[in-house]
A and B are shown apart, each in its own frame.
Chain A
Amino acid sequence: MGYSLSYGRMNEILKELQQNYRVYAPRRWAGRGRYSDTDLIRYGEIAAVEEVVHDEKSDFSPKEIIFPITQPLFYFTEDEYRESRVDDQGLLIFARPCDINGIRRLDTMFLKNGDSEDSYYRRLRDKARFVLMECGTGWDTCFCVSMGSNRTSDYSLAVRFLPDHLLVEVRDEAFKRYFSQEREVEFTPEFVTSNPRTVRLPEIDSSGLLRKVYDLEMWKEYNSRCQSCGACTAACITCSCFTTSDLIYNENARVGERRRVWASCLHEDFTAMAGGLGFRATPGERLRFRTLHKVYDYKARFKEEQMCVGCGRCDDRCPEFISFATIINRLSDEVERLKKEASQEVAGQ
């Protein structure tokens, strides 16, 4: 069912929704961008639909709403500990198709991997409902079509922002009541069907080939280019890594907490162990690790789909202009070359 409504009406509905939901959308933080006089666009609660930045891609993904950057797990007192809590307010999140598809990857990690459920993820994820935002033509770093993540039907509402009104599709019965007064129109959202950027995915089909991929020269080039800042993984909708640590708020009161914060495999200490032991000492090796996770081994493990959804935020955020889309294509070319060489070797024997 579709509706046409003014911004004013939508804001009234928003007020109603906010009795049951915290409503999050990409918002503009003026002047808070990486560079001076640039804006930061990231998720935050909104008070009016006009605040939604729908015509630019956000710097950070909505994952921080259900997988908070810093998340307390337990609170400790003198000799008690208590699980952190969340309220029962729902979460209504304005998101794009790639992000909604990306969250399915997070679900796989947090709810399926190891046949166990992460209850901290579960308790926020269960509360989340999505408002699909149309992308229009998309942006120059997007490659969602190549990753098959340009479409989704996993949303409660879908919205098209027009200059003086909005079109809303209500997919989820639970939201129908909010729109009962509105004018009905035919509306279903449109998805992008092509991106300026396409990627070719590598087909690594044997461990022998994987070994050769490890040893490719191309990774070394990134030793001088990548500064291991981890901006790519922080921006990524599908990166799910974290580190748990404890802290004491106050030495005397002996109270503290156990919490987790996001981690990045691009950071030098991601694998650091006691005694100075660690793995993947160079930026190139770490970038290889990330690349293979995104476009090879996640799929090798969970079968259905690649981890990367092609949102392109890693390319947008990399301060060194390292394009992940380019890495994927380079890797695919190398894999094809290696396969050809191998078949020539066999033929030549």
Chain B
Amino acid sequence: MSTNILLPRPHRILAINQETEHEYTFRVESGAAAKHGQFYQLSLPKIGEAPISVSAMGDGWLEFTIRKVGKLTSEVFRLRPGDRLFMRGPYGKPFPIDDFKHGDLVVIAGGTGVAPVRSTLRYFYEHPEEIKEVYFLAGFRDEGSILFRADLERFKARFHTIYTLDRDRVDGFETGLVTRHLGRIPFSTLTRYHVIIVGPPVMMHHTALKCLEYGVPEEKIWVSFERRMSCAVGKCGHCKINETYVCLEGPVFNYTKAKELWD
């Protein structure tokens, strides 16, 4: 009898932090060795399952930042610390953190795309000796959708940060889409470096093209894909693009691969 790969396990919620009106971060008890950029299938029995990225990890806990959009995500918002959340994972290919080490790192994230890169950023924030310079360009739609305010504030001390809002004018934030501020990253002076781009599909597409224009080689660019998923273990077929299963070979892809993942 093979083990049941679809079996979820209950985990205790340690803390809940409201990020925005529609996004909460749940800290869940777990000793699992998740990697940066991986995701879990979170579920509530009788409600459903959904893939959610690990947005931070620590000793004995994982964090998930969830946007309320539907059945499961709405129901999760009704949970309180001490309640149980069901999980299976971690799944997917993570960011190649070891390759990033001792070089420079550029992270460009839009909206909820900040969640999957947050743990990577926190790692290098806590291990500054393992990285040279970190350039973090984060964009949100408006003031009401700013995530991880505390982290954003902390990161300023060790990273080169550019935070921008598409529309609103708020202290500490620039205005305009992330692509408008790309020019401020000194790509031409960087040598050993990697670029992470995560956000909505259109944002990733345009940002990657811009980076290429700035002379960033394709193989230095990393993106994280979001696709409809039902199983996360390469069985259900929903996430497939060509011969690639996003749940298995992704969600993190090198741009050399990602550019050929046409839908």
List chain A positions with a Cβ less than 8 A from chain B.
Answer: 73-74, 76, 81, 83, 109-110, 113-114, 116-120, 122-123, 207, 210-211, 214, 240-248, 254-258, 260, 263, 265, 270-275, 277-280, 285, 292-293, 297-298, 300-301
Q: Is the interface of A mostly helix, strand, loop or mixed?
A: mixed
List chain B positions with a Cβ less than 8 A from chain A.
Answer: 1-7, 43-49, 67, 69-70, 73, 200-201, 226-228, 230-231, 233-238, 240, 242-243, 245, 247-248, 260, 262-263
Report whether A271 and B5 are in contact in the complex, using a CB–CB cutoff of 8 Å: no
Q: Pick the 4 closest A-B CB pairs, nearest first.
A: A114-B234, A241-B237, A274-B69, A279-B263
Docked complex Cα distance between A297 and B244 (Å):
9
Beyond the given A113-B248, A120-B6, A241-B236, could you list 14 further A-B residue pairs with CB under 8 A, ordered by the A residue number? A113-B235, A114-B245, A118-B233, A119-B4, A210-B260, A240-B235, A244-B6, A244-B48, A258-B43, A258-B45, A271-B263, A274-B69, A279-B263, A280-B263
CB neighbours of A272 from chain B (8 A): 228
CB neighbours of A123 from chain B (8 A): 1
- The smallest beta-carbon distance between B178 and chain A, in angstroms, is 18
Report whether A243 and B230 are in contact in the complex, using a CB–CB cutoff of 8 Å: yes
Docked complex Cα distance between A184 and B4 (Å):
45
Report whether A254 and B46 are in contact in the complex, using a CB–CB cutoff of 8 Å: yes
Closest to A301 in B: B243
Docked complex Cα distance between A336 and B201 (Å):
33
**Given the known A-B contacts A210-B242, A247-B46, A301-B243, are A109 and B2 also in contact in the complex, defined by CB atoms under 8 Å?**
no
Closest to B200 in A: A277
Report whether B46 and A256 are in contact in the complex, using a CB–CB cutoff of 8 Å: yes
**What would be 24 A-B contacts, judged by CB atoms less than 8 Å apart?**
A74-B7, A109-B234, A109-B237, A113-B245, A117-B5, A118-B235, A119-B3, A210-B260, A210-B262, A244-B6, A246-B46, A247-B46, A254-B46, A256-B45, A256-B46, A258-B45, A260-B230, A273-B227, A273-B228, A274-B69, A275-B69, A278-B228, A297-B243, A301-B243
CB neighbours of A81 from chain B (8 A): 45
- Pick the contact of B6: A73, A263, A297 (CB < 8 A): A73
